[in-house]
Chains A and B, each alone.
Chain A
């Protein structure tokens, strides 16, 4: 796996090539915790203002501005909590895992800065259950940080700033990446999404208190923003998508890996084909399709390659940048099998709370299995689409849903994309008699 970012500007992956970057010594040697020291010299409001000025978009998938989200807490309700969403589970996405494995102190520093800006004393760091290495690295880093006085009572001797960071390992459920399900899980309940409204945990979250839920990558940006200023951050990338963004490129490319690129100026063609990044497809093969933003995103094709990696442009083209996972499929890919693979994932990960997702996704999976087994019927292709329509009426983008959360519609995307573009491949699986 290639974890290097070949461009000069590296904000959060700067220590990826440093074998000691994960230790406190290595972190401090490379300028670590200077953001925290800087922040402590400022007032919390000034720190919040810097973040707002940076126009830092949330890196979890929805792309909501972090500075704005921070402002949603109702006044006068205490205590409040910071919850770090490290339950990165979207197939093809592994940027947060590397950030936690290779630069855990950067995340801890980000948490501390956020807590300082918001006046919080308690942070929960929720790490996906399967990420054993990240858990070990984070735990080791947190122990070091506690010992060195960066975390705990009176951070760096500050009289009025004390923070505890609690690590929590998930139990292996994709849906817990959804922030309200994550909160349920953290409270010790089944990881099932909460009903909306309230739309943001910032009003009612963990233990019924205002809670800020931020993604690992989002928080990892904070030390740099504080050291270099929100303005410098906003100057990188384009107007609506500032800073850099980490993309995980996987699939049939020469060099799969995690790449940090300026947000909004790089194109898909560059990140997939440029030798600085994924280096093109496997020799002798051509592009069939690629998923631009994780398994739930509708597929892109050849004609989308020149779109910039920027939220608005991708949204307008009918998909999403989502969690920053680009999955590339070359001409050897069986579209039906790929589609089945993705749908099976969602069927297995459905939490079972609402009917259309619980029953619909597994039905879709069963139909696709049957088609792959050569037992398809001519009406099955329309049936697939109609089941999709009952989960996500109109099968449109952005999706509408009869479900509680977007997991159900996520299973619709691959089917809609594959059937629209590669219907003949599905038909090829049907036995002669069925046609």
Chain B
């Protein structure tokens, strides 16, 4: 859209608009609503429903034209109320209703249906159609989550356009013609898209309904709040509830974040948050008769007082006998910023331990996330910019980021360079695909930005052809006058973070040179796993850090005033904590929404640590492998059950609001921390999450520029303000660079030679895995695809078995039996097995002491 302003008249009202803006959008902006069905501001217009036709005069006299197709022009005159317009709109509505069943009383959409609303507002009172309506089999399942009722469909092309244009899964299409046209899937090919729920949300009638919400509520019975889904993207959602029960999540259209979209994993996860398995009462060790007993073998219900006292006693005993560093805090990414702040204060100021890590050795050190320049999503999508993917597949792990990047590449001319060990969901859109050998990414990155690639001698660098690499380096240099964004994460959990960090350091160095030369430079958009992990890093739930992105030795005055004494030594990270627990140095292990047994890459270490620690305290919403082993379990409130704020991967802070009460006696995590602190003799004095947010804005250096009211935390309803984009913590507030102890530790790691009988393993997460929420969400639990070992076609042929044959996969540390299939996205010499799969635990194959995991395949 250009910056030229044009003047036009809409219903006799003078209007200024940007050249290129569509008439329908310009009209809505000045308060003139033009009815429509097929038009959707996040998709390209198609002009099919004809509902938005209005009188438009471009100098040749008024003529009926679709306002969703016509861009504004100078001196244009638009009349949305002319008799001609009204007659045409009446006519279109009557046409749409000819074959539309009038089953509104039993339709989920009734009460929030654009067709119903517009018929009331613009349509004729009665139908003149006395013929028989079109008939189809009543709802058919287009996939496991969504039903399609073709009789209700008005063929607006929204769902089919979404599937094709936005999600890139064109698995539903128009079929047949004339009034027999229908939307359907292809035979034997379900609409298996990670984003299918969005089609339900944008359907202007009740044709597409969500299995989860069908017949659950009437819209007028729902109350709703605008909130933030707890994922690293911080997707904006509207949470709708009735009778103290959350019934639906709808995507909220935040311009900066998710554009109204949600991935199915998040949209349909509410069963898990509302699961009957939710922890409702504090649990302590007890006898099988349900009597609390410190030596008991069971977990039994008890009172908060007893559980809190028992936890406080264990902590005090450990601190008294072995010092504060015998207590450690693992996890915290599930929590809100406020919860995290209070827990950080409890750990670091009250108990005095710096052993706190929100990540489970599957992410990146806080120094890297906080120290390198941080990008925003919109920044990454800058027209003409470059995105380097040095991360796991966004389509599998950050669904809405994938949609935003896809749009940027398709429509904004962003070039994508994949710097990954295997293909991703974005591969088809990538300009350059640099699939490197596992753990050898740093050499590829160095060559990519180093400029010197010897095409003669360096035939392959890290497994990437020198010519491909040179072409990518060229493209990167050519576009260096536009922003470069590195999507940074852990592309494979079968290798340590070091190779990725070394590659990122190369890119960061390149960015510095560009910036010094007056170019926009390079910034990082970190993608880490788990809900509010970025809030946790900002709130100091990382060894060596305090709230406000500052190191332990550099607190703000306000923080020192309030917190008092701080640990003097940098503490341990997750790996260190579990190792220390194993050796008996850590006695009390506090798990904040963390499940090391289910999630920590080094399974043996996690098992030993949890067994050895004398007291394991878990704050959880749902039971998991680790809570079962815990000595004390506190039931915590989930995100729709408390107020708070959330920080996303950009550092954007948005609100989460309570709409239902927690189950049983579950409490917000900050309340648990505050109570525990009181038992330990320290009264924080917090009365609400607002109190805590106000304190964060005072003491956290990175948050000093924020006013508590920036987030409209008090009483303003979201509805009054439109969707809020929240506030972004300024990157420049604090820099951890310069402090020697905090520089990112990056070095080239020597990678052992691979023998010709082995394949090198890559492992990353898929959208549907063994995660606690997925497994507790009844609709999602069964969606994980079969565990498969994926090989390059030629490697597969070497194995010499039929596709899908189960083979023995053997590594130095263990073995698994898995079906093996060829996959065009896996480079030669590499094998892919998904992480955290319900059927196969890849961790038995991973060697925690090696840089790479090599496997051999044995046929049975």
Contact = CB atoms under 8 A, between A and B. Distances in A.
Nearest to B129: A363
B185 to A, nearest CB: 16
B46 interface: yes
B84 interface: yes
A111 to B, nearest CB: 30
Interface stretch (B18-26, B88-96, B591-599, B802-810): B88-96
B815 to A, nearest CB: 47
Contact of A349 (B46, B92, B178, B181): B178
Nearest to A363: B98
B174 interface: yes
A356 B91 contact: yes
A359 B181 CA distance: 10
A106 to B, nearest CB: 34
Nearest to A349: B178
Contacts of B234: none
Contact of A354 (B50, B84, B90, B99): B50
B96 A355 contact: yes
Contacts of B180: 352
Contacts of A137: none
B319 interface: no
Given A367-B131, A390-B94, A390-B95, A356 B178 contact: no
A350 B129 contact: no
A353 B53 CA distance: 15
Interface stretch (A61-69, A92-100, A279-287, A397-405): A397-405
B177 A390 contact: no
Interface string A387-402: 1011101000000101
B95 A360 contact: yes
Contacts of B680: none
Nearest to B94: A390
Interface string A346-374: 01111111111011111100110010000
A355 B35 CA distance: 14
A359 B64 contact: no
Contacts of A370: 131
Contacts of A390: 87-88, 90-92, 94-95
Contacts of A350: 177-179
A391 B98 CA distance: 14
A353 B47 CA distance: 9
A190 interface: yes
A224 B129 CA distance: 55
A243 B188 CA distance: 56
Given A355-B92, A359-B95, A393 B84 contact: yes
B160 to A, nearest CB: 11
B96 A393 contact: no
B6 interface: no
A359 B179 contact: yes
Nearest to B47: A195
Contact of A362 (B63, B87, B179): B179
A173 to B, nearest CB: 7
B132 to A, nearest CB: 8
A17 to B, nearest CB: 40
Contacts of A349: 177-178
Contact of A402 (B88, B131, B154, B173): B88
Contacts of A173: 177
A379 B173 CA distance: 38
A176 to B, nearest CB: 11
B605 interface: no
Contacts of B94: 390
Contacts of A356: 50, 91-92, 95
B155 interface: yes
A351 B854 CA distance: 56
A383 interface: yes
Nearest to A362: B179
Interface residues of B, number: 34
Interface in A19-72: none
Given A350-B179, A354-B50, A356-B50, A402 B174 contact: no
B155 A358 contact: yes
Interface in B22-75: 46-51, 53, 63-64, 69
Max count, chain B CB within 10 A of own CB: residue among A173, A361, A383, A402: A402
A390 B88 CA distance: 6
A353 B38 CA distance: 11
A400 B64 contact: yes
A358 B181 contact: yes
A390 B128 CA distance: 13
B176 interface: yes
Given A352-B174, A355-B95, A383 B88 contact: no
Contacts of B92: 355-356, 390, 402
Contacts of A359: 95-96, 98-99, 179
A391 B87 CA distance: 11
Contact of A403 (B50, B131, B179): B50
Nearest to A383: B128
B91 A358 contact: no
Contacts of A404: 47-48, 50
Contacts of A362: 178-179
A156 B294 CA distance: 100
A349 B91 CA distance: 21
Nearest to B176: A352
Contact of A348 (B49, B95, B178): B178
Nearest to A191: B177
Contacts of A400: 63-64
A393 B88 contact: yes
A347 B48 contact: no
Nearest to A195: B47
Nearest to B128: A383
B48 A354 contact: yes
Contacts of B176: 352
Nearest to B175: A190
A370 to B, nearest CB: 7
Interface in B80-124: 84, 87-88, 90-92, 94-96, 98-99
A195 B88 CA distance: 19
Contacts of A360: 91, 95
B64 A351 contact: no
A379 B178 CA distance: 26
23 contacts: A195-B47, A349-B177, A350-B178, A350-B179, A353-B48, A354-B47, A354-B50, A355-B50, A355-B92, A355-B155, A356-B91, A356-B95, A358-B179, A358-B181, A361-B178, A362-B179, A366-B131, A390-B88, A400-B64, A402-B50, A402-B91, A402-B92, A404-B50
Interface of B: 46-51, 53, 63-64, 69, 84, 87-88, 90-92, 94-96, 98-99, 128-129, 131, 154-155, 173-174, 176-181
Give 7 closest A-B pairs by Cβ, nearest first: A390-B91, A352-B181, A359-B95, A362-B179, A350-B178, A366-B131, A352-B177
Given A352-B174, A353-B48, A400-B63, 15 more contacts: A195-B46, A350-B177, A352-B155, A352-B178, A352-B180, A355-B155, A356-B95, A358-B179, A360-B95, A379-B128, A383-B128, A389-B91, A391-B91, A393-B88, A404-B47
